[in-house]
Amino acid sequence: MCDFAADAAAAEALMVGRTLTLERVRQLNAKDYFYQMLKDNPEMLKIYPGIENELLKGAIDCHIHAYPDFVHRSQDMLQIAVEASKCGMRAVAFKDHWNVSATAAYLTQKHIDTLIEKGELTNRVEVYGGAGTCHGMRPEYIRVALQYPNFKMIWFPTFTSLGFWRGAGQPEKGGVRLVAEDGKVLPEVKEIMELAVEKKVGIGFGHTDFQELLPLAKLAKEIGVRATLDHPLLELNKLLLDEMKQLRDLGVYVGTYCQPMIPSLYQPVADPMETIRTIKAIGPDRCIIGSDFGQVLHMNAIDGMRVFIRALLGFGIKPNEVSVMLKDNPAKLMWLD
């Protein structure tokens, strides 16, 4: 009997990913979870569709995936920008893992401006793009890309990153390296970071692990880079709270995006409350809200942002805190302040 109890306790303590236990999965899937959630969070009873409208005015979404891209996306840049304009947002930034998105962002901006001239829209949303580096950390590529208009972000490698594959338990796959074996940031990476400061654009640190992120953050602080962690709560590049705190203390923003708080076919097993705990532990002054949406099996980007804001309010994040994460901090990241 004792052995059975010990085995059961051990099973409950099994980890599902870096932070989620089997016991927590069971709690989240319990038949009374919804009622317990309401009991623990009475503010949820005050939430209604449209409560997010005022907070969306002047908002910035610094991380959206749109078509055309290397995979199908749920909407193109024109559709998303029009929706963002209609709800009064200040700016949107479109990410491409591999290429320069600033070109299509410029054309999208022209389309928005034309609609405003015709009187079909009244709010001029700013449309930005940038460059992804999954093909490698090539300073000359970034130097040329920075000459394009509407350029505001550099995204470090994601699915080709050494840190990504190392975190996935497959370091033998290699990948784009950002930091040398001795812990020093590679010269070409430093050069790109210096270009970001010179041209006043932000950096998303991509899908890499803490082993690379710590020296990157130290260098970023030293040379004045404005950078954010891209969705560190997703298992793609999951970080522990203590790791995020160290990076925050070096001046890096923590991306608390719609994923994984909003349930997803892309990561169906997740604890939505981890986002709330992270915001409270890191502090809203160092967190950034973004959608990271555009996937065909998700809701659309602006709809996702609406639900996410409602969820944050329902679980105790104050409107002024949401405003800081949704307006002030992404503006600082992209040097729009």
Same domain membership, residue 8 and residue 112:
no
Same domain membership, residue 280 and residue 151:
yes
* Residue 88 belongs to a domain: yes
The burial of 79, by beta-carbon neighbours within 10 Å (0-12 exposed, 13-18 middle, 19 or more buried), is given as: middle
CB atoms within 10 A of CB 71: 11
Q: What percent of the chain has pLDDT over 70?
A: 97
The DSSP annotation for 288-306 comes to: E-------TTS--HHHHHH
Same domain membership, residue 107 and residue 25:
no
* Residue 45 belongs to a domain: no
Same domain membership, residue 162 and residue 250:
yes
pLDDT class for 78, splitting at 50, 70, 90?
Answer: very high
Residues 7-23 pLDDT 10s: 666 667 789 889 999 99
Query: Global pTM?
Result: 0.95
Q: Summarize the confidence of residues 136-163 as an average pLDDT.
A: 97
> Which secondary structure element, helix H or strand E, spans residue 287, and what is its range?
strand 287-288
pLDDT class for 3, splitting at 50, 70, 90?
Answer: confident
Q: Summarize the confidence of residues 219-237 as an average pLDDT.
A: 96
Please tell me the distance from the alpha carbon of residue 256 to that of residue 239, in angstroms, as a whole number.
12
The enclosing domain of 116 has a CATH number of 3.20.20.140
Question: Residue 137's domain spans which residues?
Answer: 52-333
Same domain membership, residue 139 and residue 266:
yes
State how many domains the chain has.
Answer: 2
Same domain membership, residue 182 and residue 132:
yes
* Residue 46 belongs to a domain: no
Q: Summarize the confidence of residues 25-29 as an average pLDDT.
A: 93
* Residue 295 belongs to a domain: yes
Same domain membership, residue 61 and residue 8:
no
Q: Summarize the confidence of residues 130-138 as an average pLDDT.
A: 98
Burial call 20-29: b when 16+ CB within 10 Å, e when fewer: bbeebbeeee
* Residue 61 belongs to a domain: yes
Same domain membership, residue 80 and residue 29:
no
* Residue 319 belongs to a domain: yes
C-alpha distances out from residue 294 to 150, 269, 290, 297, Å: 20, 20, 12, 8
Same domain membership, residue 295 and residue 154:
yes
* Residue 167 belongs to a domain: yes
Query: To which residue do tokens 């829209």 refer?
Result: 121
* Residue 109 belongs to a domain: yes
